[in-house]
Amino acid sequence: MKLRKVKIMIYIMIGIMGILLLAMMVTKILVLGYIVSATLIATAIFERLYWKCPYCGRFLGCLNDRGKYCQHCGKEIEI
Ligand SMILES: [Zn+2]
């Protein structure tokens, strides 16, 4: 899977979590909180599985503060 797709998927999942959280606050339906927690865990697992360097295969972590380079092998990451 391309890193750009992975990034979009993560943003979509965060968006869903935000909407569910808002819906929970408005409707006071507690079950939505559990769904938010489950989505959060799923997002974390998804990120761990797919958010990795295409060159060395290690977890990329946050790219924003280190620029577009892998912190492990130093190769440029195209997103
Ligand atoms: Zn790397």
Give residue 45 CA to ligand 1 midpoint distance, Å.
Answer: 19
pLDDT band at 71 (very low <50, low <70, confident <90, very high): confident
Ordered by start, the domain boundaries in the chain are 3-66
Give residue 55 CA to ligand 1 midpoint distance, Å.
Answer: 5
62 or 77, which is more confident: 77
Give residue 77 CA to ligand 1 midpoint distance, Å.
Answer: 8
Give residue 37 CA to ligand 1 midpoint distance, Å.
Answer: 30
Report the distance separating Cα 54 and Cα 61, nearest Å. Answer: 13
pLDDT confidence of residue 66: 52
What is the CA 48 to chain-centroid distance, rounded?
A: 9
Give residue 4 CA to ligand 1 midpoint distance, Å.
Answer: 16
pLDDT confidence of residue 68: 83
Question: What would the pLDDT profile of 13-69 be if each residue is shown by its tens digit?
Answer: 999 999 999 999 999 999 999 999 999 999 999 999 999 999 999 998 876 555 688
Report the distance separating Cα 11 and Cα 7, nearest Å. Answer: 6
